[in-house]
Amino acid sequence: MGVPGEPGPTDSWVTLGALARETSRIRLGTMVSSATFRLPGPLAIAVAQVDRMSGGRVELGLGTGWFEAEHRSYGIPFPPLGERFDRLAEQLEIVTGLWSTPEGKRYSFSGPNYEVLDSPALPKPVQQPHPPVIVGGTGRRRTSELAARFAADNVAFAPVDEVADRFARVEPASAAVGRDPAELVRSVAQTVYVGRDDAEVTRRAAALGQEVADLNPFDLAGTVGQVVDQLGSWQSIGVTRFYLQLLDLSDIDQVELIAAEVAPQLA
């Protein structure tokens, strides 16, 4: 995304499989896997394996895919948006269907893009009927419909007024499929730059070639108290879970600062 990109991309589910064996408490997942990257059967197998390797700590985030250059760079087809939504819908149907099929039974599915015939629907994840599914995106209609049908967690990555509008669209979509919208976790994903003082915040932004004044208006940027206040402002629209994106993966001190000083104030 405009940078050289060393050391290169990682495969999310290979990485999460390794983390599953190296950790014991944190939950593991993707924000989000692209439905263009894998066929639904192999995706269901990979996620179920990582769920078993972790003892049941996996959540599957799945989306349409959006970054065309990444697809072109690695030989991955990038169909038009409407087809990507169709594929996403079928993948959600197939993956959850494979996981939810009782052991000893077979699963079949036929759609415009995928066909599954007489599958033994194995392996099974630890979490039953299946791991939580995260659906998020900017689609005004189809994203809401897919979240209502399949998701445990509906996540948005946008300013508060846009997020409120997206959450509001999920309610009639849930009613249309006979689901209580209160079952969905309302989440928001935001990039974070938090420091013990203003100088530390400025340093964190500068490490990524950014000025604090030029950050996205919905980024979390400031001292511990300021970031806690910013997070608190989302409660008015029903947000109960935050996914904090750290772009400087070497900055472990920021992770520790969030755990030690930000998270306890939210609890």
Q: From the CB of residue 206, how many other CB atoms can be counted at a distance below 10 Å? A: 12
pLDDT at 17: 98
Q: Output Rg (C-alpha) for the chain, integer angstroms.
A: 19
Per the domain annotation, does 5 fall within a domain?
no
pLDDT value at position 139? 64
Specify the pLDDT at position 51: 98
Average pLDDT, the chain: 92
Residue 7 preceded by cis peptide, ω within 30: yes
Residues 256 and 184 in one domain: yes
Other Cβ atoms within 10 Å of 212 Cβ, number: 16
Q: The domain containing residue 178 runs over which residues? A: 138-267
Identify whether the C-beta of residue 244 lies closer than 8 Å to the C-beta of residue 258.
yes
Using CA atoms, how far apart are residues 219 and 192, in angstroms rounded to an integer?
A: 6
Residues 2-16, mean pLDDT to the nearest whole number: 87
Q: Where is pLDDT greater, at 153 or 267?
A: 153
Q: Model confidence at 233, in pLDDT bands (50, 70, 90)? A: confident
Q: Does 2 have pLDDT greater than 80? A: no
pLDDT tens, residue by residue, 247-264: 998 999 999 999 999 999
Last residue of a domain, one of 65, 98, 131: 131
Residue type, 205: A
Phi, psi of 11 (to 5 degrees): -85, 125
Q: Please, which residues bridge with residue 120 across strands?
A: none
Percent of the chain with pLDDT over 90: 69
Residue 185 structure tokens = 């976790």
185 phi and psi, to 5 degrees? -80, 125
Residue 169, pLDDT score:
83
Mean pLDDT of 217-225: 92
pLDDT-based confidence at 21, cuts 50/70/90?
very high
Q: Return the pLDDT at 170.
A: 85
- Its pTM stands at 0.90
Residue corresponding to tokens 């599914």:
133
- Confidence category of residue 120, pLDDT binned at 50, 70, 90: very high
Q: Which of 99-108, 113-122, 174-183, 218-227 shows the lowest mean pLDDT across its residues?
A: 174-183
pLDDT at 95 over 70: yes
Residues 32 and 144 in one domain: no
Whether residue 243 lies inside any domain: the answer is yes
Any domain includes 4: no
Predicted pLDDT of residue 200: 97
CATH number of the domain bearing residue 180: 3.20.20.30
Residues 126 and 143 placed together within one structural domain of the fold: no
- Closest by CA to 64, choosing from 143, 140, 153, is 143
Number of domains observed in the structure of the chain = 2
Q: Identity (one letter) of the amino acid at 38? A: R
Instruction: For residues 94 and 42, state if they share a domain.
Output: yes
State the pLDDT at residue 258.
Answer: 97
Whether 235 is covered by a domain: the verdict is yes
Domain-ending residue, one of 76, 104, 131: 131
pLDDT band at residue 147 under the 50/70/90 scheme: confident
**Can you tell me the mean pLDDT for 119-139?**
90
Q: How many CA atoms lie within 13 A of 6 on its CB side?
A: 0
Q: Kindly give, in sequence order, each residue whose CB lies less than 8 Å from that of residue 169, ignoring residues fewer than 6 positions away.
A: 140, 141, 144
- Given this model, what pLDDT does residue 138 score? 66
The Cα 70–Cα 90 span in angstroms is: 23
Other C-beta atoms lying within 10 Å of the C-beta of residue 70? 17
Asked if residue 242 and residue 147 are part of one domain, the reply reads yes
Q: Which residue has the tokens 């950014």?
A: 210
Residue 6: inside a domain: no
Residues 213, 195: Cα–Cα separation, whole Å = 15
Least confident of 104-108, 118-122, 124-128, 139-143: 139-143
Q: pLDDT by residue (tens digit) across 53-66?
A: 999 999 999 999 99
**Cα dihedral: 98, 100, 104, 105 (round 10):** -70
Give the number of other CB atoms < 10 A from CB of residue 97.
Answer: 18
